[in-house]
Amino acid sequence: MSNIDKATVAKIARLARIKIEDEKLEPLAGELNNILGWVEQLDEVNTDNIEPMSSVVDAKLRWRADEVTDGDKQQSVLKNAPRGEYGFFAVPKVIE
Amino acid sequence: MTDLTKLKIAEARDLLKKGDISARELTEAYISAVEAADALNAYVAKTPEMALEMADKADAMIKAGGQKGMTGIPVGIKDLFATKGVHTQACSHILDGFKPEYESTVSQKLWDDGAVMLGKLNMDEFAMGSSNETSYYGPVKNPWRAKGSNNDFVPGGSSGGSVASVAGYCAMGATASDTGGSIRQPAAFTGTFGIKPTYGRCSRYGMVAFASSLDQAGTITRDVRDGAIMLESISGFDAKDSTSVDLPVPNFEAALTGDIRGMKIGIPQEYHLAGMPAEIEALWHQGIEWMKAAGAEVVDINLPHTKYALPTYYIVAPAEASSNLARYDGVRYGLRETVEGGGLVDMYEATRAAGFGDEVKRRIMIGTYVLSAGYYDAYYLKAQKVRKLISDDFKRAFEKVDAILTPTAPSAAFAFGEKSDDPIAMYLNDVFTVPASLAGIPGSSVPAGLDANGLPLGLQILGKAWDEETVLKVSGVIEEAAGFTAKPEEWWR
């Protein structure tokens, strides 16, 4: 099933927003194929009519009143930002 | 004058109560021990001034008659628990300089009880690793060395700093976290007691997220009683975590009755791995004999989907990680790398390339792939279904038994570099711990013996969901029977 080539690694890296140098794509393809080849043993397991398990906690999510309990923390929120300007997070220019 | 750093939490608690020692004295002894133990590389940030302030508060609490189990007890906090104004990076470069504006619930509960923070503990980057070799701050050294050797061993992972600080007498206890075995495996490698409670027992609020459906806080201590005391302090419902469960926290220490007569202990046949060292099999067999001698009934059980637990984990955990770690983008906190003349996406890609280590990148890539269009059903959905089967295996087993006994890890601590080139060999270390993480059930590792080289080995006890008391009770019986008194030589001082 899994046959990840260089182009696929480049695509995954793009989706994951991680810059991968060209010369690293090939070795990474090998590593990912190894791991995926190993996890594919799950194909042996019959999972017909089995509900996927997304949480070990059976309980339904709790409800709460829709009210403001926190906020007014602009200083705190921006405290760790690499760049903050005029009370905003600042990033490189997006629109020319 | 006794060396205060050799006391256990329960012993210190009693001396503090009687007024024989003060929290300040105890804390000063630990601050010196932490200073002297740099060779272990267990701490990535030290907070001696805060510790002394907290110790004085603890002394005031005790004087006012408000002593609790953890009052005045110096502890270390794994670097993935948010501590207000203090280094919190999950030992990743991408969180450079991050000092949270808020406190994790687990650490806050300790401070509310009067515990004292010595600093932040080293770990595998974002808890992804089984040897502490993926930390941006360098590996932690295991305080234990093989007999007659000066070679260093890994402390296990991901809670490598937690176990090294406790085994190396530079914390009385440490917080830790378990996603696939990150509490139990390192505890086994260092002769310490580690317990991961039921998923939902401790709040995940303020814990740096790795795989949210698996992450659970727990403790590392020098013995079972200390584990019961510390676990009780950090447990309990928290409205700030939607998966926190609103159940009363039992008095865990009271569970340590030593009486397991008539209890049924399950031995999963699938855990007899081909090629497992004879010493591990022998230790397990010894554990079975201890159970029988204590009056428990030992029952063979089957957990038929055990062999699929690791591959299931290595789909579910990276998938959740790839989603959780999407937040590290260089915008709101931590590292930012920009590209000359580049735009926003270039900044994201450069920041994440520079900020994440190789193992973290590998897992994000796997997770991204298994969640991507066209592959979701084949990998992620499939893994979630197998996870259900693994969980059902345990449910069926616990209809017949009260607890399950297994080895904690398939080997003792290994040398640096021994497995770091082969991700799958590294993953196999967690073969006995991952199934319980997937099922969300509580588990512990108790030091139970030494291998031929003099390195510690642990036995794992698993219990029903919400039955940490039985896990602790059986752990206590193993501890008593094993009479594990071996100590590492203090070469790091």
- Alpha helix stretches (DSSP H) within A40-92: 74-78
Task: Supply the pLDDT for residue A2.
Answer: 66
Handedness of CA B275, B488, B447, B200 (dihedral sign): negative
- Closest A-chain CA to B439: A56
Q: Which of B311, B365, B440 sits opposite A41 (nearest CB)?
A: B311
Q: How far apart are CA B403 and CA B425, in angstroms?
A: 29
Q: How far apart are CA B38 and CA B33, in angstroms?
A: 9
Checking if the pLDDT of A56 tops 70, the result is yes
Number of Cβ pairs < 8 A linking chain A and chain B:
158
| Reported confidence tier of residue B247, pLDDT bands at 50, 70, 90 | very high
Q: Which of B200, B362, B386 sits opposite A47 (nearest CB)?
A: B386
Are B201 and B468 a contacting pair, CB within 8 Å?
Answer: yes
Residue B68, helix vs strand vs coil: coil
Task: Supply the pLDDT for residue A57.
Answer: 79
Region A27-43: mean pLDDT is: 94
Region B351-379: mean pLDDT is: 96
Residue with tokens 């004058």: B1
- Pick the closest to residue B126 from B310, B334, B363 (CA basis): B363
Taking only the tens place, the pLDDT of each residue in B63-76 is: 999 999 999 999 99
The contacts found for A7-15 with CB under 8 angstroms, 24 or more apart, are: A8/B369, A9/B365, A12/B365, A12/B368, A12/B369, A12/B372, A13/B365, A15/B368, A15/B372
| Reported confidence tier of residue B317, pLDDT bands at 50, 70, 90 | very high
Domains of chain A, by residue range, sit at 6-43
Lowest mean pLDDT among A58-72, B227-241, B454-468: A58-72
Are B18 and B182 a contacting pair, CB within 8 Å?
Answer: no
- In the set B92, B104, B158, B203, the catalytic residue is B158
Looking at the complex, does the CB of residue B362 fall below 8 Å from at least one CB of chain A? yes
CA angle B35, B38, B44 (to 5 degrees): 95
B100 to chain A: which residues are within 8 Å by CB?
80
**Residue A53 and residue B362: Cβ atoms within 8 Å?**
no
CA angle B47, B51, B52 (to 5 degrees): 125
Cis bond leading into B158, ω under 30°?
Answer: yes
Are B177 and B215 a contacting pair, CB within 8 Å?
Answer: yes
Are B203 and B241 a contacting pair, CB within 8 Å?
Answer: yes
Q: How far apart are CA B175 and CA B359, in angstroms?
A: 23
Task: Supply the pLDDT for residue A63.
Answer: 87
Are B424 and A35 a contacting pair, CB within 8 Å?
Answer: yes
| Reported confidence tier of residue A77, pLDDT bands at 50, 70, 90 | very high
Looking at the complex, does the CB of residue B245 fall below 8 Å from at least one CB of chain A? yes
Q: Give this complex's ipTM.
A: 0.95
Task: Supply the pLDDT for residue B151.
Answer: 94
B464 included as an active-site residue = no
| Reported confidence tier of residue B423, pLDDT bands at 50, 70, 90 | confident
Q: How far apart are CA B264 and CA B398, in angstroms?
A: 10
Strand-pair category, B403-407 with B264-268: parallel
Predicted structure pTM score: 0.97
**Residue A80 and residue B338: Cβ atoms within 8 Å?**
no
A4 to chain B: which residues are within 8 Å by CB?
369
**Residue A91 and residue B347: Cβ atoms within 8 Å?**
yes
Average pLDDT taken over every residue of chain B: 97
Task: Supply the pLDDT for residue B338.
Answer: 94
Task: Supply the pLDDT for residue A22.
Answer: 95
Q: pLDDT > 90: what percent of chain A?
A: 77
Q: How far apart are CA B86 and CA B67, in angstroms?
A: 26
Architecture of domain B8-257 in CATH?
Answer: Alpha-Beta Complex (3.90)
Are B372 and B354 a contacting pair, CB within 8 Å?
Answer: no
Terminal CA-CA length for chain B:
19
Terminal CA-CA length for chain A:
43
B18 included as an active-site residue = no
Q: Give the gyration radius of chain B's Cα atoms.
A: 21
Looking at the complex, does the CB of residue A68 fall below 8 Å from at least one CB of chain B? no
> How many Cβ atoms are within 10 Å of A94's Cβ, its own excluded?
8
> H or E stretch including B49?
helix B48-63
Region B259-264: mean pLDDT is: 98
| Reported confidence tier of residue B422, pLDDT bands at 50, 70, 90 | confident
Lowest mean pLDDT among A54-58, B22-26, B321-325: A54-58
A94 to chain B: which residues are within 8 Å by CB?
343-344
Checking if the pLDDT of B16 tops 90, the result is yes
Task: Supply the pLDDT for residue A64.
Answer: 86
Looking at the complex, does the CB of residue B270 fall below 8 Å from at least one CB of chain A? no
> H or E stretch including B70?
none
Q: How far apart are CA B163 and CA B457, in angstroms?
A: 14
Q: How far apart are CA B132 and CA B134, in angstroms?
A: 6
Residue B268, helix vs strand vs coil: strand
Q: Which DSSP string corresponds to B192-227?
A: -EEEE--TTSS--TTBPPS-TTT-EEEEEESSHHHH
Residue with tokens 């010369």: A23
Domains of chain B, by residue range, sit at 8-257
Checking if the pLDDT of B270 tops 70, the result is yes
Checking if the pLDDT of B315 tops 90, the result is yes
